[in-house]
Amino acid sequence: MCSKRVAVDARHRMLGRLASILAKELLNCQKVLVVRCEEICMWGGLVSQKMNLMRFLRKRMNTEPSHGLIQFPAPLTSSGVPFVG
């Protein structure tokens, strides 16, 4: 039961709905492979998406800004956010 592998095509899928599909598969102990992550659709305008990303990348530590919590941009940053927690 736990050895089944599932490949999910992320092309033209909404980010939140894709997250729910992946969460359901992961709760069933499936190994999940997501292909074509670059073509995930996100709701909202480009300006609001860019503002959210810039807000995320701007986080720093108050006491010593050069240490800790420096966010580096990665290609899959936006798809990783719904799966935290």
Domain 5-83 has CATH 3.40.50.1010: no
| DSSP-derived secondary structure letter, 47 | H
60 Cα distance to chain centroid? 20
Phi, psi dihedrals of residue 7, rounded to the nearest 5° = -105, 125
- Reading the chain (85 residues) residue by residue, the pLDDT tens digits are 566 888 899 998 888 889 998 999 989 888 899 999 888 887 777 788 788 878 877 776 666 766 666 656 665 555 555 554 4
In the chain, what are the domain boundaries? 5-83
Residues 6+ apart with CB under 8 A from 30: 2, 4, 5, 6
What is the structure's pLDDT at 52?
A: 80
